[in-house]
């Protein structure tokens, strides 16, 4: 049990690369375009995103149109976000899983 908790804790710690890791809203289209926290920056969900029984890893990259507006080097690398299955409604998680599977 301790090993599982430690593994989850370590993976969460490694996934936090920003000063503001918490997302309060996520907008997803059928093509995999994601908007986080009503920002002006949209992200594209990449095929490297993965599903598991406890949640999903989202691998996202800033869209080309918004990435050119903000040309800092940190926006050129994919971001990773982990979402626990129980942090979304069952319908929302199913839709997210469907979009991830369509990208593969």
- The pTM for the full model equals 0.67
In angstroms, the CA 90 to CA 93 distance is 5
| CB atoms closer than 10 angstroms to residue 37 | 12
Residue 83 and residue 55 in contact, taking contact as beta carbons nearer than 8 Å: yes
Q: What is the pLDDT of residues 37-69, one digit of tens each?
A: 767 788 999 999 999 999 999 999 998 764 455
Q: Which of 55-59, 60-64, 70-74, 94-98 has the lowest mean pLDDT?
A: 70-74
């Amino acid at each position: 049990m301790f090993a599982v908790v430690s593994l989850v804790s370590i993976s969460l710690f490694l996934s936090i690369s920003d000063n503001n890791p918490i997302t309060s809203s996520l907008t997803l289209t059928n093509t995999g375009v994601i908007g986080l926290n009503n920002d002006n920056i949209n992200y594209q969900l990449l095929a490297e995103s993965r599903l598991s029984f406890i949640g999903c890893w989202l691998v996202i990259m800033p869209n080309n149109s918004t990435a050119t507006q903000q040309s800092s080097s940190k926006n050129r690398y994919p971001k990773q976000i982990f979402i626990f299955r129980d942090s979304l409604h069952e319908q929302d998680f199913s839709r997210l899983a469907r979009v991830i599977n369509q990208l593969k």
